[in-house]
Chain A
Amino acid sequence: MVKVAEDQPTEAAEAAWAPMLRMPIPRVPGKPPTPSSECVIRTEQLSIYYGSFAAVREVTLEIPSHRVTAIIGPSGCGKSTLLRAMNRMNDFVPSSTVKGKLFYRGDDIYRPGFDPVELRLRIGMVFQKPNPFPKSIYKNVAWGAAINGYQGNLEELVERALQQAALWEEVKDKLQDSAYALSGGQQQRLCIARAIALQPDVLLMDEPCSALDPIATAHIEDLIDKLKSQYTVVLVTHNMQQAARVSDRTAFMYIGELIEVNDTNVIFTKPGNKRTQDYITGRFG
């Protein structure tokens, strides 16, 4: 008869382990996310000028659907300019001009007659610094939908947007309080809820965590990860660890040029270009 060793797992230990053993194991650990076949935004040889200065130079880039695409690069590399071009926010800079093409779902958004206001309903934006309106939490979220003639139930829309922005539980009992009473991280999630309330297709985020503390940053990063199931997200960030944590694709820009774009996993383990390598390892400049 086989003697049972004393250190063999007890029934209780086995019971504790059993659920873990039943958990599925990924077939190919570390495999990059399957590329989305659908391209939502595409730039072709896109150059953006401020006067005679080329802030973005002949960038050709595809933004896949339902993925987080991060754009990284040193200050002044043109990443925010490129992001703002995606919903024509650069139109508000009088000296800016655009060459090349920028397509949103196949439609050239810089063609004559294209309506940028309609575009901004489909492509929302969240800025570096939280910028709530000087109104109640409720009105901040409801406002965009209300002025655009939303016909549904506004209260439901506000609740849904706040839930998607992971803010509902924290504000549901004080919806009429001023948005300014919220913390910085809560204000930023409110701005995301405000953008989501318009039920956009794409969310552009311009350094959305740079004014936030690490806990608030972690909340936003978790949120970005959840949002990609419903939206396409383009994220500009100075924080390379953030790009590595939350994005599926990463584009590296330098002095207005797109140097390299690839799966985030590849960019941060074996980048193909020496300038990318030097930048991500902090040896730049």
Chain B
Amino acid sequence: MTAHFVDLLDDLRRRSLRMAQLVEEVVREACEAVFQADVEKAKRVVQRDNDVDAEEVEVESEVIRLLALYQPVGSDLRLLCTVLKVNNDLERIADCAVNVAERARHVDARTLAGPYEDLRQMGPIVVHMLHNAVKAYGSQVVDDAQRVLLEEDAVDALYGQIIRRLVAEASASPAKIAAFLDVLSVAKNLERIADHATNIAEDVVFVCTGEIVRHRMH
């Protein structure tokens, strides 16, 4: 029975990791869609979000089933709790990616060039951060997870810069408010993705050590 349970846990972990990789691709595509004004790519992001939603329900059901039938303890319990939490973060990340991609319909790519270079920088950093969080989730190595936590500050700093610039420019050019709101939406959703990536990294620390490191200064 134990060997069977260990196999089921491994299957679940692989499944959750595949979902994480799918979400990572969705975020990458969303960034490409908005920064290259590629509406077709944006449509694909929305379609793939449906796959993520379906997978989220499947993974959650399996976690509940394993908790009910096997009453795991120790590292098995920590793993199942982590899969459940990461599952939620991944679904929210995909939703944020959809929000980013949907801006591709409205945002003029030229708006995002030049003055909003920091927004362009933010995209790859967030993608990189998520990639490292997923990598840490796969490897379950604390050092990998902690590297992700260190990256969050860079994203927050860029987000702060963008907000300050938007406030200044919106005051000066109120006619462009719709475009500014699009920029704000992209920035806000990228910042949220970085937050969810941080959550995933913190959950990796929990699964490895049993320590809850959320809400601490990194």
Q: Is the CB of A277 within 8 A of B71?
A: no
Please tell me the number of chain B residues within 8 Å of chain A, measured between CB atoms.
14
Q: Is the CB of B77 within 8 A of A269?
A: yes
Q: Write out the residue numbers on chain B whose beta carbons fall within 8 Å of the beta carbon of A268.
A: 73-74, 77
Q: Is the CB of A270 within 8 A of B210?
A: yes
Kindly identify, within residues 39 to 83 of chain B, every residue whose CB is under 8 Å from any CB belonging to chain A: 71-78
Q: Is the CB of B74 within 8 A of A240?
A: no
Q: How far is the CB of A52 from chain B (nearest CB, A)?
A: 34
Q: Write out the residue numbers on chain A whose beta carbons fall within 8 Å of the beta carbon of B73.
A: 240, 244, 268-269, 280-281
Is A241 in contact with chain B by the CB < 8 A criterion?
yes
Is A149 in contact with chain B by the CB < 8 A criterion?
no
Please tell me the number of chain A residues within 8 Å of chain B, measured between CB atoms.
13
SS class, residues of chain B in contact with chain A:
helix
Is A283 in contact with chain B by the CB < 8 A criterion?
yes
Q: How far is the CB of B83 from chain A (nearest CB, A)?
A: 16
Q: Is the CB of B75 within 8 A of A282?
A: no
Is B181 in contact with chain A by the CB < 8 A criterion?
no
Q: Is the CB of B74 within 8 A of A269?
A: yes
Q: Is the CB of A270 within 8 A of B71?
A: no
A87 to B134, CA, bound (A): 55
Is A74 in contact with chain B by the CB < 8 A criterion?
no
Q: Write out the residue numbers on chain B whose beta carbons fall within 8 Å of the beta carbon of A280.
A: 73-74
Q: Is the CB of B76 within 8 A of A269?
A: no
A280 to B174, CA, bound (A): 64
Known contacts A241-B71, A269-B210, A270-B210; A283/B77 CB under 8 A: no
A259 to B112, CA, bound (A): 61
Is A271 in contact with chain B by the CB < 8 A criterion?
yes
Q: How far is the CB of B161 from chain A (nearest CB, A)?
A: 40
Q: Write out the residue numbers on chain B whose beta carbons fall within 8 Å of the beta carbon of A282.
A: 1-2, 5
| Closest A residue, CB atoms, query B210 | A270
Q: Write out the residue numbers on chain A whose beta carbons fall within 8 Å of the beta carbon of B72.
A: 281
Q: Write out the residue numbers on chain B whose beta carbons fall within 8 Å of the beta carbon of A269.
A: 73-74, 77-78, 210
Q: How far is the CB of B68 from chain A (nearest CB, A)?
A: 13
Q: How far is the CB of B67 from chain A (nearest CB, A)?
A: 13
**1/0 contact trace for A250-285 toward B, CB 8 Å?**
000000000000000000111100001100111100
Is B178 in contact with chain A by the CB < 8 A criterion?
no
| Closest B residue, CB atoms, query A244 | B73
A268 to B77, CA, bound (A): 9
Q: Is the CB of A281 within 8 A of B75?
A: yes
Kindly identify, within residues 71 to 105 of chain B, every residue whose CB is under 8 Å from any CB belonging to chain A: 71-78
A240 to B71, CA, bound (A): 10
Q: Write out the residue numbers on chain A whose beta carbons fall within 8 Å of the beta carbon of B5.
A: 282
Q: Is the CB of B6 within 8 A of A283?
A: yes
Task: Report which residue of A241, A268, A269 has the largest number of chain B beta carbons within 10 angstroms of its beta carbon.
Answer: A269
| Closest B residue, CB atoms, query A279 | B74
Known contacts A269-B210, A270-B210; A281/B74 CB under 8 A: yes
A281 to B78, CA, bound (A): 11
| Closest A residue, CB atoms, query B2 | A282
Q: Write out the residue numbers on chain B whose beta carbons fall within 8 Å of the beta carbon of A277.
A: 74-75
Q: Is the CB of A281 within 8 A of B76?
A: yes
Q: Write out the residue numbers on chain B whose beta carbons fall within 8 Å of the beta carbon of A270.
A: 74, 78, 209-210
Task: Report which residue of B2, B75, B78, B210 has the largest number of chain A beta carbons within 10 angstroms of its beta carbon.
Answer: B75
Q: Write out the residue numbers on chain A whose beta carbons fall within 8 Å of the beta carbon of B2.
A: 281-283
A269 to B74, CA, bound (A): 4
A98 to B124, CA, bound (A): 68
Question: What are 13 contact pairs spanning A and B, CB under 8 A?
Answer: A244-B73, A268-B73, A268-B74, A268-B77, A269-B73, A269-B74, A270-B78, A270-B209, A271-B74, A277-B75, A281-B2, A281-B72, A283-B2
Residues of A within 8 A of B (CB): 240-241, 244, 268-271, 276-277, 280-283
Q: 13 additional contacts, CB 8 Å, given A281-B74, A283-B2?
A: A268-B74, A268-B77, A269-B77, A269-B210, A270-B78, A271-B74, A276-B74, A277-B74, A277-B75, A281-B73, A281-B76, A282-B1, A282-B5
9 nearest CB pairs, A to B: A270-B210, A282-B2, A268-B73, A281-B74, A280-B73, A280-B74, A281-B76, A277-B74, A271-B74
